[in-house]
Amino acid sequence: MNTPTRFDFHPPQYAKRAARDRRLRVLRNAGALVVVVLLLTGAWVGAAWWLSGCSAGMWRGVDDECVGVSDGSASLHHGLRDVEEKIERENDRIAGLDRKVVTVAVLTPVPEPGGDRGSVSLDQARSKIIGAYLAQRQANSVEGAYPLFRLVVADEGSDEQDWEEVVDELIGMTDDERPLVAVTGMGVSVGETISAAHRLADHQIPMVGAVLTADGLNMTGAVRPEDGPIRGLYRVSPSNRTEALALHEFLVKRPREYMLVRDQNFNDFYTTGLRDDFAEVFSAELAAGVQRSFDGTPGINGTTNQFNEIVAELCSPGTPDTVLYAGRASLLDAFVEKLRVEHCGKTITVVTGSDAAKLNETELPGHVEVVYAALADPKALGDARFNEYAEDYKVNFDGFRQLERIGSRDLANGWAIMEFDAMTAVVDAAQKALLNETEIGPAEVRTALVSLTSERNDIDGAGDRFHFDADTGDPVGRTIHIIHQVGLESRPVHKYTS
């Protein structure tokens, strides 16, 4: 979900294309003799991926990134290798058992190795994949588990730019011996995700989004109404509007003056939705109309200068001390850095949405505090004051995580927990589908997901229990925790149930 955290010089596109063409010419020339030998010896198998420079089964996408679908055997990023090896071992283990096996994909952007741009950070991509793996392992570890679940990771490019080819690859897997029955993850709340969801829906493949919070990014398709509904799209994350309501319920206890700082990247439905929801939910507090904008569109320069102007105004006499920040957390780092340098002579409170969970390792300056709505905060989930299922979380999820030798750091941003819940919903549906069927595919799992729309069939998530709304596919019964961060310390301060 993240936009760049650095603001170094980036070469123009024509320079990037020229450099890429030079690399490809060298690769082709170096590989020409090898190709001839391969053809002469009949050993062509594997030559295509070798020449591309990508792992087996992957290919070069539109921006020269390696993309594709991996069962753990391919390396998507060196920072994911330990997790990929765990997935590969589990997939190999169940392949040797004489039981029904089905495939579930986690569709996600993965940052380009060595790159500094992308819609998610490496930590976020890693956490999401870990969550899927933990759910796979837990489902397969139950005695007599049926079916068994094979996991694949579908890397659609750092900015989801290769979603179309990757989704088509997933569609082709529905007729495999171990058929693809559902897709989880589903990227982040951007236009490419919406297009991918429509393509999968057209082929009757059910989806459960992990961190999709944009308003209307569900079965209604209201996020982009001109494209129509997205049948079979569920999500385990509450919407932006629910986040805004939770924040307002906590903040209304103390009178404040607010400035709305909003991103104008119209392809990012997380930021545009948060902007509109803040404006509506905090309308009384924003009566003075103090609003400022910046353009956080990836590849657009000048964001730093825009933040300079906003911070200079914020530090002027008689201006608000609380900022409603409707933007990505990656750019929030830069905004906070400007506040660090400027030092307004007053404490500034920055209020924002769930993407800010990635700030957990950022030390805030002493005069800046952040209040945000968290989708799944480990501290809150393990605290009985904020979660009635705290003991279940500590034993069933956190304990299992430790057995699998997954570090607590990988839970900090909440993405592993959210993806675990998305995968668990698919597991529940697939198991229900097989109660009355001998063979299942996407259609049967999609039908079974409908049964998870009543409280009687609540899903036992990592930290709470929930079900889906039958009309929208949104979660019902989930708790949002409000987190207050000062310096490096963050703590839960409020809970709100959707």
d(CA 101, CA 339): 53
Taking only the tens place, the pLDDT of each residue in 26-44 is 444 444 443 333 444 444 4
Residues 116 and 212 in one domain: yes
Q: Which residue has the higher pLDDT, 498 or 195?
A: 195
Q: Which domain holds residue 13?
A: 1-53
Taking only the tens place, the pLDDT of each residue in 222-258 is 999 999 999 999 999 999 999 999 999 999 988 888 9
Residue 184 lies in a domain: yes
Taking only the tens place, the pLDDT of each residue in 324-349 is 999 988 888 889 888 888 888 899 99
- Number of residues assigned to the chain: 498
Residues 444 and 395 in one domain: yes
Residues 94 and 194 in one domain: yes
Residue 291 lies in a domain: yes
Residue 474 lies in a domain: no
- Answer for the pair 196, 224: CB distance below 8 angstroms, yes or no: no
What are the backbone angles phi and psi of residue 250, rounded to the nearest 5°? -75, -45
Residue 470 lies in a domain: no
Residue 117's pLDDT is 67
CATH of the domain at 98: 3.40.50.2300
Residues 389 and 369 in one domain: no
Residue 48's pLDDT is 45
Residues 205 and 233 in one domain: yes
The average pLDDT across 193-197 equals 98
Report which secondary-structure segment, H or E, holds 154. Answer: strand 148-155
* 5 pLDDT higher than 80: no
Residue 60 lies in a domain: no
Taking only the tens place, the pLDDT of each residue in 112-131 is 887 666 889 999 999 999 99
d(CA 186, CA 207): 7
Q: Which residue has the higher pLDDT, 172 or 333?
A: 172
Buried b (16+ CB within 10 A) or exposed e, 306-322: bbeebbeebbeeeebeb
Count CA within 13 A, CB hemisphere, residue 497. 8
Residues 113 and 14 in one domain: no
What are the backbone angles phi and psi of residue 5, rounded to the nearest 5°? -100, -5
Residues 46 and 74 in one domain: no
Residue 11's pLDDT is 37
Residue 471 lies in a domain: no
Q: Which residue has the higher pLDDT, 133 or 56?
A: 133
Residues 268 and 368 in one domain: yes
Share of the chain above pLDDT 90, in %: 70
Residues 257 and 175 in one domain: no
Q: Which residue has the higher pLDDT, 209 or 144?
A: 209
Q: How many of the other CB atoms lie within 10 Å of CB of 435?
A: 8
Q: Cis bond leading into 238, ω under 30°?
A: no
Residues 291 and 208 in one domain: no
Residues 346 and 389 in one domain: no
Angle, helices 415-433 vs 122-141, to 10°: value is 30
**Mean pLDDT over the full length of the chain:** 88
The β-bridge partners of 324 are: 260, 351
d(CA 53, CA 28): 11
* 14 pLDDT higher than 90: no
Residue 167 lies in a domain: yes
Residue 472 lies in a domain: no
Residues 138 and 171 in one domain: yes
Residue 65's pLDDT is 94
CA distances from 95 to 58, 103, 137, 144, 380 (A): 22, 11, 14, 15, 38
Counting the structural domains of the chain, the total is: 3
